[in-house]
A and B are shown apart, each in its own frame.
Chain A
Amino acid sequence: MDQQDLNKLQTNLSDAEIRLASIIESFIELGVSVYDFPGTQESTQGMVTNLKRNVERIKLLNQHANDPDSQLRNMNIPLEVLQYIEDGRNPDVYTREFVEAIRRSNQYQRAKMHALKKLRDSLAEKIGEEFPDLVPQVQGIIERANGSRDK
C-alpha cells in the first residue's frame, strides 16, 4: 500500500467518522422525539422527516464506504477487535496485547534458535576435533544451516 493510498484511507476514515457521528446524533434526536412524542400530526410529520433524513444518511454512508475508489475495502478488521468492541472493551488494549504477544514470541523463538545454533556449533567443533577429516563436511552443513562462521 503506497503513501497515497494510505492518505486516502485516512481521509475516508475521517469522512466515515463524521458520517457516523451525524448518524448517531440523529438517532439520539430521533430517540428524544419518540420519547416525547405528543401524537400530533405535526410532530408525526417532523419525526418522519427526521427518520427519512437519518435513513438517507445511512444510505450515503453505505454508498461512500463501498465506493470503488474508497480505500475502506482495503482495511481488514480482525474479528477479535469486533468482539472487543462488542464486549465494551477498548480496542487499543487489544492492539497493545497483540504487540506484546508478538514481542514475547519473538524473544522465545530467538532464544531457542540461539540455543540450537550453539548446539550446532559446539557439535561441529567436537566433530571437527574428533574427525579432522570431516571438518569440510561439517562446515558445509553449518553454511547450509545458515552459515554463521563467525566464531
Chain B
Amino acid sequence: MTIAVKESKILYGNFDKAKSGIMKGSGGIVEQGPGLQQRIITPAKEMPPEIPHVEFNQLPLSVLIRNLTVYAAKELSQYMKTNVRSTQDASTRKMEFLRLIIFLRNQFLRLYVLVKWCKTIRQNNFHTMIDLLNWFRGTNIIVNNCLLALKDMSTSMAGAKLPNPDLITALEVLMLGRPDLPTHGFLLTGDENGQQANKIPAKLILKRFRDLNTCLSVKISLMDLPAEMHTYSIKDGRITFTVFPEFEISLSTIDRESPLFFVDVKFLFNENKFPLNTTKIALLVNDILYKSPTPLLSLYQFLHRYVLTLQLYMIHVELQDIETNGKYSGGNLAHHYDPKKNIISLRYWLQSKMNSKCKALIGVEKTSQSIILQWHLPDTKEEGKTTKYNNLLGNIEAILDEITFNHARIIMSELLDTGLFEGDDNKNDTSDTLFFHVPVICVATAPVQLKINTISGIFYFKNPSALLLSYAKQLNQTSDLDDVVNILERLRMDKIVHILRNMFEKTGWICEDVVKLNKPILYDKHKDKKRILTRDLFIRIKDWPANWFFILNLVASGATCIVEKLIGKVQSVKGTWEVKYLDQGNLQVSKLESITYQNVMHMQKTIIQKILNHMIIDSLNELKISKVICQGEASQKLPAYVQTNTAGASNVSIIAIGLESFLQGSKALSDTLESTIFLKMDYEQNEVKLFGKFKKDTQMIRYQCDDLLINFIDKRGLAFHMTEDFTSLNHVVQYLTKFRQKLMQLVVLTDVTEKLHNNFRSEHFQIVKLRPNEISFRYLKNSKDDQDCTIQIVTNETKIEKLQVQLSPLNPQNIIQKYLECDKYDPHFIFNYLHFTSKLFSAVKSIESITNTNTMTITLHLHTLAAYQLSYHDRLTGGQIALCIDLRNSPSRAGSMYHLYFAQEDYSASKNPMYPAILQVINNVFMLNNNTKRKVPSVIRLGTGVACPLGDIEPLLEEIHSILIRS
C-alpha cells in the first residue's frame, strides 16, 4: 500500500495530466476527488496487496548503450577488415564507409534522444505506470467477470418458475433452489378453513350481519338511486341490485359513515362465457363508490357502459364466429370492430358487385342507450331510410338472415318494376324467384327462373344452360340494376339471334359470324332511345355473289322484337368490315313472331332476284352510271319494245340506265340513240338483254351487222336489243362492259357510215359489208367488183384513231392507193377525192376499154394526186401524145376544175406523126375563136388548154379522144 501511495504521489508529482486517482490494492476502490486532495478508504487493519511488478518488454538503459557501442565498434572494425583490401574502387568504398558512418551516427542520435527522454523521467518511475496499467487491465477483467456473472444470474432467473412474482420468492428460489416460504399458499380471502375463522363465534357473525343489514337499509334509503337500480335486496350484510338484463351487483359497508364497497358482480347476459376480472372491477367500483358524490348513480353509469362495451365485444366475437364457421363463412361477410368509437361496421354480400350498398352499422343508440343494428335500406327510391334491430346478442345470425332476405326481396321488386319480369304468381308473396321470359322459338317464350343467393348476394338461374351461366356471371359483375336489365335484354337478344340463326341454318342459309361491323347498321337510328338493342345478322346462301348478304337487323325493346330485312354488301377493308352497299329504299319490317320456316324458305327463292338487282345496281354505282330499277308501277310505263319482251316473265328485272353515263360521259350516241336504255335480266333463262332505240332513221339501220349483236326488234322500228347469256352471277359486270363496248362500236360505225354517205352522194354508193371495225362499199358507176373500197376502223377505247382505206385491186382508182398509204390524209378528203375523181377514172376506163387495140395504147399516169397524164402511143407510126390533166382550184369558181393541155414537147415536135391530131384538138377544143359547136358547154377554152368542172370531164375527154383517134 505504501508503495501504492508513494507511487500515486509520484504520479501526481510528475504528471499534471494525471490529476487525480487513488488506488488501493486489489479489491480497493479508486476514487477521484477534486484537485489534488485524495481520500483513501482503507480499513486500518489490513494493507492492500502491492501492485504486481511487470518486467516484461523492458530493458535497462545500460544494456542498450552497451549493445549499441559494441555493435558500432564491431561494424567499424568489420568494415576496416573487409574493405581495406577490397578491390572496389575508391569512390565506392568511400561511399560505403560514409553510409556506415551516417548509419551509426543516426543510431547514436536515437540513443541520445532516448537519454534525453530518460532525463525527463526524473523519478525513474515509468515502470510503475506500466504496472498500474497492467493492474487496471487485470481488475477490469475481474469486474467484467462479475458483471457477466450477474447477467448469467438474471438470465437463469428468467427461467425459474416462481409461484409468486415477487422478490421474496425470487430470493427463496435463488437461495434454496425451491419455494418453501411460510407464506406460501397463504390465502387472504378469509375462508372458513382457516383457523382464524373458527375463532369468531357464529353468533357474533350473525349479529354483525343483522347490524349490517339495518345499516345498509338506512344508508340506501338516504342515497340517490338511479331508476334502473330500484330493484334490490338486502341480505347477509350485503345489498344486491339487479338490473335486468344487464347485471347484478352486491355491495356492502362497515358502518353508517363508511362508503359502500364492492362485494360481487354478476352479468346477466353472458352466461359466464367470459372470465371476468373481478379484481379490477372491484377496484374501479370501490373507487367510484368512494370518490363520487352520487355513488350509486355513477356506479350505474359505469356498469351500464361496461355492459354495453362488453356486449358489443360479444357481438364482435359472435360475428367473428359467423364469418369463420357460420353459414356466411367464405368471405361473404366482414365487419370492423372499432373499440374506441364502440362501433361495428358490417358488410355483407361481399362477393356480389352490389356490396357497396350492403352495409349495416352496430352501435349504441343515444336516445335509448342500447345497442342497435342500423340497416340502411338499399332501396334507391327511399334514400336515407333505415331499419333498426334491437336485442342483437345471440340473434345476429337471424338478423343477418332477415336483412339479406329483405335485401334480395328489394332487388327482386325493383327488377319486377322494370316490367322485364313476371313474379311467381302461383306461390305466396315470399317467393324469391323472378321469371324472365326468353323466346324459345319465334312465336313462343319460356320462363327462366332468376334467383338471388341470400348468403352471397349472387344472381343465379335455376337449371342453367351454358349461355345462362355466362349471363349469370355478367349479372354478378354489375352493381347497377339498369345494367342488370341491359344484360338480361342482351340475353334475350342472344336467344333471338340463336333462334333465327337456327331457322336460317336449317333451311340452307349460312350465317356469317366473321362479319362484324363497328356498330350495328341501325345503331344511329336507335342510339338515342333507351333500352333498345340492335343486332345485325349477316346471312347468305352458298352460291351468292361474294360479299353480298341478307342482313337482318334485330331491334328489340322489352319483350317485342322487330326484324328489319335488308340487302347489302359488306366488305372487309384493311381488316375492318364496312358496309359498301345498303338497300335503304326497300326496308322490310316484320315482327319476330311473323318469321316462320315457310317465310324463310320462300325468301330463299325470291331473294336472289333482289340480290342480283342490287348487285347490278352496286356495279352500276361503282361505274357511276345513273339508273332506276323498274318495278311495280314503273314497269308499266316502260316503252313498248321493252314491255313486249318482258311480259309475263316472273324472274325478270329491268333497270333503266342513262345512256350518257353508261358510255362514261360520251355524247357520241346522244344524237343517235334515245337517252335511256334498258337492261333486262332474265334469271330463268340466264340471259341479259340491253334495249335501246335509235332516235331517227340513220343509214346504220339499213345494214345488219351480226358481230355487233344488235338485233332490231322489227324491221321498220328503230328499237334494238343486245343479248348475252350469263353463266355466273359474279360476272354480270363483264356483260355490262361488253355491251358498252358494242355500243361504242355502234357509235363508231354510225359515225363512219354517216361520213361515207355524206361524201358519196350518188346512186352508185352501196355498203356491201358491215363489221364492227370494217366497212366495205361500192361507189363506182360501172363497178363489177364486189366492193370498191374497204375501210378498216382502228379505234382506241374512246375514239376512232384512224381509218385505213383499202381500194380494191380492180378499182381503176387503185393507182392512188400508194398515195393514200404514204400520206396522212383526212378520211373526209379521201372519200371526197375518191368520189369526185371517180368520173375521171370511169371515163379513162371506158376510153381504155374502147381504144386499146394493137395499134394504139392508152395509159393513165399519175404524177401527183392533182396531176394525171393520159398517154397515147401509136405503135404503127410511133406517134406519141401526152395529154396532161391537172386538178386545180379555180379562184373564180367554187370547187376544183380539171385543166387539160398537151405536154410541151408535143407542140414542138412537129415531126410527131400524131401532131396533126394535136393541132386539131387545139383548134377544135382549146381555141376560143372557134365556131365549132361546143359539145360541152361548161368548158373554158384557154387556147393552150381547156378547163372544165369536175362533173364534165367525161364528155370532154370523150371529145378529145374521138379527135385524137380519128386523126
**Are A95 and B29 closer than 8 Å at their CB atoms?**
no
Tell me the bound Cα distance from A98 to B150 in angstroms.
32
Chain B contacts for A79, CB-based, 8 A? 57-59
Residues of chain B lying within 8 A (CB to CB) of residue A105: 133, 136-137, 140
A80, B112: Cα distance in complex, Å: 16
On whether the beta carbons of B66 and A66 are closer than 8 Å, the reply is yes
A116 touches B140 (CB 8 A): no
In chain A, positions 4-44 with a C-beta closer than 8 Å to chain B are: 6, 9-10, 13-14, 16-17, 20-21, 23-24, 27-28, 30-31, 34-35, 37, 39
Partner of B136, one of A17, A31, A102, A126: A102
**Interface bits B40-65 vs A (CB < 8 Å: 1, else 0):** 01010000000000010111111111
Question: Complex: how many Å from CA A78 to CA B64?
Answer: 11
Residues in A with CB closer than 8 Å to B111 are 20
Known: A73-B62, A110-B32. A101 touches B118 (CB 8 A): no
- Nearest residue (CB) in B for A114 is B29
User: In whole angstroms, what is the CA distance A131 to B175 when docked?
Assistant: 13
Interface status of B139 (Cβ within 8 A of chain A): yes
Given the known A-B contacts A76-B59, A102-B136, A106-B136, are A51 and B115 also in contact in the complex, defined by CB atoms under 8 Å? no
Known: A30-B101, A74-B124, A91-B113. A109 touches B136 (CB 8 A): yes
Chain B residues near A117 (CB-CB < 8 A): 29
Chain B residues with CB under 8 A of A119: 150
- Asked whether, in the complex, the Cβ of A109 is within 8 Å of the Cβ of B139, the reply is yes
- B17 on interface, CB distance cutoff 8 Å: yes
| In contact, A66 and B143 (Cβ under 8 angstroms) | no
- Min distance, Cβ B5 to any Cβ of chain A, angstroms: 15
B526 part of interface (Cβ distance < 8 Å): no
CB-CB under 8 A for A91 and B105, given A66-B65, A98-B129 = no
Known: A31-B98, A110-B31. Contact between A74 and B171, CB under 8 A? no
Closest B residue, CB atoms, query A37: B94
- CA of A5 to CA of B27, assembled, Å: 33
- Contacts A107-B32, A110-B29: A78 and B118 contacting too (C-beta < 8 A)? no
Query: Assuming the A-B contacts A6-B122, A85-B113, A127-B171, are A58 and B29 also in contact, with contact meaning beta carbons closer than 8 angstroms in the complex?
Result: no
**B929 close to A (CB within 8 Å):** no
Q: Are B30 and A106 in contact (CB under 8 A)?
A: yes
Instruction: Knowing A102-B136, A106-B21, A106-B136, say if A76 contacts B126 (CB, 8 Å).
Output: yes
Contact B69 A62 (CB under 8 A): yes
B interface residues, tally (CB under 8 Å): 71
Total contacts A-B at CB 8 Å: 194
**Least Cβ distance of A18 to chain B in Å?**
10
How far, in angstroms, from A27 to B31 measured CA to CA in the complex? 53
Report the minimum CB–CB distance from A79 to chain B (whole Å).
5
Contact B32–A106 (Cβ < 8 Å): yes
Mark contacts of B131-166 with chain A using CB atoms, 8 A cut-off: 1 yes-contact digit, 0 otherwise: 011001101100100110010000000000000000
* Stretch with Cβ within 8 A of A (4 or more), from B70-78, B391-399, B403-411, B542-550: B70-78
**B913 to A: closest C-beta gap in Å:** 160
Known: A6-B122, A113-B30. A77 touches B101 (CB 8 A): no
Contact B110 A27 (CB under 8 A): no
Minimal Cβ-Cβ distance residue in B for A127: B171
**Distance (Å) between the CB of A54 and the closest chain B CB?**
8
Which chain B residue shows the least CB distance to A75? B61
CA distance A127 to B110 in the complex (A): 63
Specify which of A34, A85, A116 is in contact with B146 (CB 8 Å cutoff). A116
A130 to chain B, nearest CB (A): 6
A141 within 8 A of B: no
A81 at interface, CB cutoff 8 A: yes
Confirm or deny: B117 has a beta carbon within 8 angstroms of a beta carbon on chain A.
Answer: yes
Kindly list chain A residues whose C-beta atoms are within 8 Å of the C-beta of B65. Answer: 16, 61-62, 65-66, 72
Complex contacts, A91 vs chain B, CB 8 Å: 113-114, 117
B60 near A126 with CB under 8 A, answer no
Residue of A nearest to B15 (CB): A99
Shortest CB-to-CB span from B10 to chain A, Å, is 10
In the complex where A34-B97, A103-B17, A109-B143 touch, is A82 in contact with B114 (Cβ < 8 A)?
Answer: yes
A72 and B114 contact, CB distance less than 8 A: no
B124 and A78 contacting across the interface, CB-CB below 8 Å: no
Please state if A72 and B133 are interface contacts (CB–CB under 8 Å): no
CA distance A145 to B21 in the complex (A): 21
CA–CA, A89 to B28, complex, Å? Answer: 37
Given contacts A20-B112, A72-B61, A78-B57, 7 further A-B contacts (CB under 8 A): A24-B112, A27-B101, A31-B105, A58-B73, A102-B18, A113-B143, A146-B29
6 interchain residue pairs of minimum CB distance:
A27-B105, A105-B136, A62-B69, A65-B65, A75-B61, A73-B62
- CB<8 Å pairs between A and B, sample of 9: A28-B105, A62-B66, A73-B61, A73-B62, A82-B59, A91-B114, A99-B18, A106-B136, A112-B147
Task: Give chain A's interface residues, CB within 8 Å of chain B.
Answer: 1, 6, 9-10, 13-14, 16-17, 20-21, 23-24, 27-28, 30-31, 34-35, 37, 39, 51, 55, 58-59, 61-62, 65-66, 70-82, 85-86, 91-92, 95-96, 98-103, 105-110, 112-114, 116-117, 119, 126-127, 130-131, 145-148
